A = this chain, B = another copy of it.
Amino acid sequence: MSKTLEALRNYTKEIVPASLEILKNYLRLQSVSAQHKDIPETVKFVAEAIEEAAGETQILDDLGGNPVVYGFFAAGKDGDATKTLLFYNHYDVQPPEPLDEWNTDAFEPTVVDGKLFARGAADNKGDLIARLTAIKVLNEVEGGLPCNIKFLIEGEEEIGSPNLIPYIVKYKELFQADACIWEFGGKDEKDRISMVAGIKGMAYMELTSVGADIDMHSSVGAYVDNAAWRLVQALATMKNKQNEILVEGFFDGIDKPKEAEKQAVQAMPFNEEAISELYGLKRPLITAAKGEDPREAMVFQPTMTICGLESGYTGEGAKTVLPKSAKVKLDCRLVPGQDPDHILQCIEKHLETHGFHDITVSLLNGQKAYRSDFSHPFIAHVMQTAKDAYQKETILAPNSAGTGPMYIFGKELQFPIVSTGVGWAGSKAHAPNESIRLQDFEQGVVHMAYMLSGLPAALQTSENMKVK
C-alpha cells in the first residue's frame, strides 16, 4: 500500500463516526421532491454541511424549482489551482411509500447489522457526506486540497431535474471544471466496484382514461364504458406478451453502439441467479424469452415500464364501483439518439391510430441519454484509484441502466464524467429498506480522497494527450 493511501485510510477511520452523525441528521430531513417536503430545511442543511467542511456556498434560486446549492473548495498552497473537479449530487429523495414495508422508520436512520437504513442513504445523501468527509481527510492528511473542488447539489433529481438546464446554462462559468464525478455508484452483488461513464435517458409519462364525471355503481357495466378496461386495452396495444414494444417510431434514431462499447458490455459481469435472489423474482428474465443478453438490454435497449396503475377502489374487500377514470405511470428509459419529446409524440400517435384518442398523455419527465468517451485518462484514473483503494475488481459500463441529467452536463460543460459511490447491490434505492453498508461508506471516503490526491497529474496526462 502506498504511504499516502495508508495515511488517508487511517485518518478516515478516525473521522467516519462523526461523519455518520452528520449523515443521520441529513437523512432525518424528509426531502421528497415529488411531495414538496422539507426543501428549505434541506437546502440550509446542505449549505451548512459544506461550510462546516470549510467550503464556500451559494444558493442558486433565481430560475425556478427547488434551489441548487453550489459549493467551492479552493486548492491548497501545494495544490494545482488550475485544475478543478466537479461533484454532482442531489439532496432530494424518492417517496418512502409503501411505508408498511419498511422494517425501520424511513426517516429515522437506524444502524442494523453494519448497515444504515433510511430513505436516501444510498440515493444520494450518503455520497454527499462521503465526499465532504474526503475533503476533510485531505485537508488533515495533506495539509490542503490537490485541486479546486466544486459541488452542484440539486433538489429535483428524483422528479427528473425539470428546472436544472437553465441553471447550468446561466451558471456555466461557475460550474466549469476539468472532470466530473457523478452522484452515485457502488459495489455489485459480488462486491466488485461498478462504475459508469454515461446514463440512460427517460420519458416518464402519465396516461389517463376518463369515462365519466363520477364513480358509478358497477351494475351499470352492462352498458357504460369502463375507463379502466379502456386503459388496459390501450396498454395492451403498446407492448405484447413477449415484452416487445409495439409503438411505431419508438426506436427511431437510436445510436448504433460502437465496437469498444460492445466490448465493454461483454466484459461486464451479470449474475442472473444473484439478481433473481436479491429481488425474489418469480419469473425468468424477459431477455431470456427474447434471446437477448440482459447486459446489452441494460445498456443499449430502451424500456417501457409500468411504474403505477390506479383506478377505482383498491382498499380491502369488494366495492362494486365502475370507476370514472384510470391512470398509468409509464417510465420509458431511453438510449443515446432517442428524444423524449419524439417518444411522447409516437405514443400519442399510436393511441390515436388504435382508436384511443380519448386517452390523454402527459410527459412528467423527459431527459436524453448520455455516454461520455470512456477512454479518457480521467476515467482510467478513477478506475485505477478505485482498484488501489478497494483492492477489488472494477467494472466500467458505457452507460448505466438508470437515468440522471447527465446529457446537459456533457453538452454544456464538456468534461468526462464517471459515476461512482458508496452503495451496494442490496441498497434498494427507490424501494423500502434502502441502506448503505458502513464499511462501504468508509472505503468510499478513502477512494474519493485518494482519487483527488492524484487528480492533477492524471489531468495533466489528459492535456498532454489533447496537445497530441
Interface residues of A, Cβ cutoff 8 Å to B: 33-35, 94-95, 97-98, 101, 158-160, 200, 202, 204, 210-226, 228-229, 231-233, 235-236, 239-241, 243, 275, 279-287, 294, 297-298, 301, 303-324, 326-327, 329, 331, 333, 355, 358, 364-365, 400-403, 428-433
Contact = CB atoms under 8 A, between A and B. Distances in A.
A35 B233 CA distance: 31
A260 to B, nearest CB: 21
A316 B327 CA distance: 12
A287 B365 contact: no
Given A35-B315, A223-B286, A319-B430, 8 more contacts: A34-B316, A97-B313, A101-B215, A213-B279, A223-B297, A232-B309, A307-B312, A309-B314
A221 B310 CA distance: 19
A305 to B, nearest CB: 3
B329 A312 contact: yes
A254 to B, nearest CB: 14
Number of copies: 2
A311 B313 contact: no
A158 B317 CA distance: 9
Contacts of A333: 218-219, 221-222
A350 to B, nearest CB: 14
A430 B215 CA distance: 8
Contacts of A318: 34, 158-160, 204, 307, 329, 331, 364-365
A229 B243 contact: yes
Contacts of A317: 33-35, 95, 159, 364
A310 B307 contact: no
13 contacts: A217-B402, A217-B429, A221-B331, A225-B281, A225-B286, A226-B305, A228-B308, A282-B358, A307-B313, A307-B323, A308-B314, A318-B329, A318-B364
B97 A305 contact: no
Nearest to A239: B229
B323 A308 contact: yes
